[in-house]
Homo-oligomer: A and B are copies of this chain.
Amino acid sequence: MRTFIVKASKAHTAPDFKLNDLPGTSGRIDLLCRVLNSAFLLSHGFRKNVRVWLSLYGPPNPPKAIRFEGQKMRPKTLNPDELSTAKLIIRALKAAENLREPSKEVEVLPGIYVSNMTFEDIVRRTLKGSALYYLHEEGKPIAGVSFPPNVAFVLGDHEGLSREDEVFLSGIAQKISVGKKSYLASHVVAYVNIFLDSLTPQP
Contact residues of A with B, CB < 8 Å? 19-23, 30-31, 34, 37-38, 41-45, 79-84, 158, 178-188, 190-191, 193-195, 197-198
Residue of B nearest to A141 (CB): B198
Copies in the complex: 2
A34 to B71, CA, bound (A): 26
Task: Evaluate whether A42 and B80 lie within 8 angstroms (CB atoms) in the complex, with A190-B187, A190-B190, A190-B191 already known.
Answer: no
Residues in B whose Cβ lies below 8 Å from that of A195 = 191
Task: Say yes or no: B194 contacts A179, CB within 8 Å.
Answer: yes
Q: Is the CB of B179 within 8 A of A43?
A: no
Are A80 and B184 within 8 A (Cβ)? yes
Once the chains bind, are A194 and B187 in contact (CB under 8 Å)? yes
Complex Cα gap A178–B197 (Å): 10
Q: Closest B-chain residue to A82, C-beta based?
A: B82
Q: Which of A37, A45, A81, A178 has the most CB of B within 10 A?
A: A81
Q: Which of A23, A37, A184, A197 has the most C-beta atoms of chain B within 10 angstroms of its own C-beta?
A: A184
CB within 8 A of A81: which of B30, B84, B188?
Answer: B30
Known contacts A34-B80, A37-B34, A81-B82: A184-B42 contact under CB 8 Å: yes
Whole-angstrom distance between the Cβ of A167 and the nearest chain B Cβ: 22
